[in-house]
Structure 1
């Protein structure tokens, strides 16, 4: 299976959100308190006020939910039997065929005197579990569906391919909205002029709620055309780093298992430090397959992170930079390592 950290923008691990929040404009973090503060009526007062207050500007409250993440809590797909208005962001055959994995938009606006069963269940069992993100808007369910459908598949600046962008996943939203918080254009594209007041994302297992208000749109020239979103290198950079870190940690863990005796004295962190430079370099050469990177990492552990630079005839590096496909180059690497008297550490 190939590792694609540059495209794996929907499968990232957590970032240091406290550090990532420092100096971020148009964003605030509210401490909600532990889930034990959720009361029988609905949620902690801070969260209830954030999500449902009306004040002088009546707004509706919506939840963008990921059914695959929700099923980690419910253990079954249940969005076809809830007692609040709901719509799938996909249409037609795609909505039917991908019913249990497609994103959904739920109208969570409620009567304070009689919150729905879905409300009670969500705040009792799902808040803090990372199953979706909230937003507040004066728009209708259908208006917002039309708006969000344009973001489910996005292009990147470096190619013409379309990419499935899981912005409704809290782990994605937390990173992405921080990254674009200072962009007038992105604020205009995502929030609209008066369409969305804010997005609310739960963090720290529900102990904090992060509010992205799209304030950068206030300086946008609304007479100018608004182009579609095309993901830039800057926007993808946090995801690339995190996905690569995750994959390197997995390989280090497997090496510890494969070479339990040889690596007994080495911590997983030490193995990561040793294999990271080699894996990063070989991935720049175009090596992506997990089984190939696993062997390359083993070579780095036992023969040094720069093992490919130690070939007296320079053949290893010549193989890496050749125009052959990955499979052919990897076979050539194995043959050359054997010739140098360095049998592959794993196969």
Structure 2
């Protein structure tokens, strides 16, 4: 039975950047990515890299949009682009860097999750045709999905979910009728920190059977994407807290993420799903302590959380109560101002 082996590669990311830094892949990383090949491919999101089309044209590398010709004309600046790289290409190096403040330029690509890498001996046109088959898919309920498999975090979650599903693995790694397959996928992810994940096929059939029917996502796979988005939302809350309350966040240190996770779990369990509300609850937890609900001396916050009112009404009452507690210097290690 075919399967995928998924591992975290022992390489150091992000790569160093800045004046005077030689933009050359470390030998260990080059070996991991290229193996015995002279070329690898990337699928890059033009919507997350300013001027990607112009950069690719200037570099003279082979590149093709995964969109149709008409869609590329209309939306090429947000299209996924299949690109061929050799080991000396400066864009390949830069996409594995992370420069603070480079929110749209090429040096901040790693943190923004703007693309994946794959190793194959296929011609770029054949590989493009193969990958396009996975862009528009259906789920088990016949709902249409636009599958952004080039987002590294989504790709990592997806391929972990299907790693033991032989038919799906073969469908991805063995383009029907092609003289070669995909040897490996690489996902440069950044959730709890930078990491390079690798998915390598094992025990592929020779020759592979033809694919059966239109490619679809199972219910489990769709749920995995939902869990990923929830994790991203929590990460975004932690980052926003750090930007809004830098001194408090610095004092919390490694406890910041657990504070967010515990607070969000408690609030979602009480029906509070809106991100603006969750941010406010997390801000209270950061300033008053993660157990601020239980530490209200009159138990009012806990009572208001459980009232049979709308989320908006309860949140307004809780906000008024927290304002009162702040004025009364309720166990206050700092000011919300």
TM-score (ref. length: structure 1): 0.61
What secondary structure is seen at the aligned counterpart in 1 of 2:77? coil
1:297 maps to 282
2:43 maps to 64
Distance 2:258 2:195 in 1: 32
2:67 maps to 90
Gaps of 5+ in 2: 98-108, 328-335
Q: Does the 8 A contact of 1:85 with 1:106 survive in 2?
A: yes
1:338 maps to 320
Are 2:174 and 1:197 equivalent residues in the alignment? no
Larger displacement relative to structure 2 (28-37 or 209-218): 28-37
What secondary structure is seen at the aligned counterpart in 2 of 1:287? coil
**Alpha-carbon spacing, 1:289–1:186, altered in 2? closer, same or farther (3 Å):** same
**Matching residue within 161, 183, 187 for 2:169:** 187
**Alpha-carbon spacing, 1:293–1:47, altered in 2? closer, same or farther (3 Å):** same
Partner deviation per Cα, 1:28-80 (whole Å, 9 max, x = no partner)? 666568778976xx8738726962736xxxx9743322334544xx8984234
Distance 2:33 2:254 in 1: 40
Which residues of 2 match residues 16-165 of structure 1 at below 5 A? 26-27=5-6, 44=27, 47=30, 51=34, 53=36, 61-71=40-50, 77-108=54-85, 120-123=89-92, 125-127=94-96, 130=110, 132-153=115-136, 160=143, 162-165=145-148
1:276 maps to 261
TM-score (ref. length: structure 2): 0.62
Q: Does the 8 A contact of 1:64 with 1:168 survive in 2?
A: yes
Distance 1:46 1:102 in 2: 28
* Bigger relative contact order, structure 1 or 2 (CA pairs below 8 A, ≥6 apart): 1
Distance 2:156 2:304 in 1: 45
Q: Does the 8 A contact of 1:37 with 1:43 survive in 2?
A: no
Tell me how large the CA RMSD over aligned residues is: 4.9
> Deviation of residue 103 (structure 1)?
0.8
What secondary structure is seen at the aligned counterpart in 1 of 2:185? strand
Distance 2:318 2:93 in 1: 59
Partner deviation per Cα, 1:188-227 (whole Å, 9 max, x = no partner)? 23223654232244579xx996542222655999477355
- Figure out how many residues of one structure are paired with residues of the other and give that number: 294
Distance 2:235 2:223 in 1: 20
Q: Does the 8 A contact of 1:29 with 1:211 survive in 2?
A: yes
2:242 maps to 253
